[in-house]
Structure 1
């Protein structure tokens, strides 16, 4: 796993963390359970950079819990995180979206194998936008 790809997903997790924190500050969730959940989320943010493969299960679990605990923000969860953690997170993605992410992942692996830089966000834009425009 390249450092850039990991950093990209860590930034998405940090963004999701700010959304979760704002929920608590707005008193939209029970404080005690929410505080414990944020502690687990912080553990993931801290542990993921040093051992991404081992912490994928924790990530899958926490992202799934966000959907169940905080359905009011489900639409704010970055889709890239669902793909990044995979496993049970993929249940929250339609098949068509999974196919697009598979193609994006193949592009990433091809670029890495060729020693070329790969900008996940830019490539995602190139891959996803044309299909969205054709759908209208």
Structure 2
């Protein structure tokens, strides 16, 4: 089942939250600063659906994940880096940025035409090797 672009990214944020909570439970991070970080993370999760302009806060939070929790940086969903943009793009190679630019173009085109767009499916199609058929 496809979800909206915002819902897709909120689900990824919730997944990332679970990873960060597990880090705290495993006592792999400083408890006090981790607790404060998680409170800010939860505030972002609550505000983002109602105030999409809070994306800049998400950008800061995702960048902090890379700096504060390098042991899980490889687990940060790549879609979140693109969704928040800005400084988050520094963690993406140029080829990956090009893929996400094409995805966004397809999403906007579908939106303009009032067509259904499944972010995950389109992402898989774009990731196919060049000799595979794409639509």
What band does the TM-score fall into relative to the shorter chain? Answer: over 0.9
TM-score of the superposition, structure 1-length normalised? Answer: 0.92
Which whole-Å CA distance do the structure 2 matches of 1:127 and 1:94 have between them?
A: 16
Residue matched to 2:96:
97
Partner of 2:57: 58
Kindly report the root-mean-square deviation, in angstroms, between the aligned alpha carbons of the 2 structures.
1.2
Q: After superposition, where does 1:104-119 map in structure 2 within 5 Å?
A: 104-119=103-118
| 2:118 is equivalent to residue 126 of structure 1 | no
Higher relative contact order (CA closer than 8 Å, sequence separation 6+): 2
The TM-score normalised by the length of structure 2 is 0.93
- Alignment deviations for residues 24-57 of structure 1 (CA, whole Å, 9 cap, x no partner): 00000010000000000000000000011x2111
- Mapped to 1, the partners of 2:126 and 2:43 lie a distance apart of 33
Which residue matches 2:9? 9
Counterpart CA distance in 2 for 1:64 and 1:128 is 25
Give 1:13 deviation, angstroms.
0.1
What does the per-residue CA deviation read over 1:4-25, in whole Å, with 9 as the maximum and x for residues that have no partner? 1000000000000000000000
Paired residues, number: 129
Residue of structure 2 in register with 1:35 after alignment: 35
State how 1:14-29 maps to structure 2 within 5 Å: 14-29=14-29
Runs of 5+ unmatched residues, structure 1: none
The offset of 1:129, in angstroms, is: 2.8
Where do 4+ consecutive residues of structure 1 move more than 6 Å?
none
Which shifted more, 3-12 or 96-105?
3-12
Compute the displacement of 1:74 (Å). Answer: 0.5
Deviation, structure 1 residue 94: 0.5
Unaligned runs of 5+ in 2: none
C-alpha separation in 1, matches of 2:10 and 2:30: 26
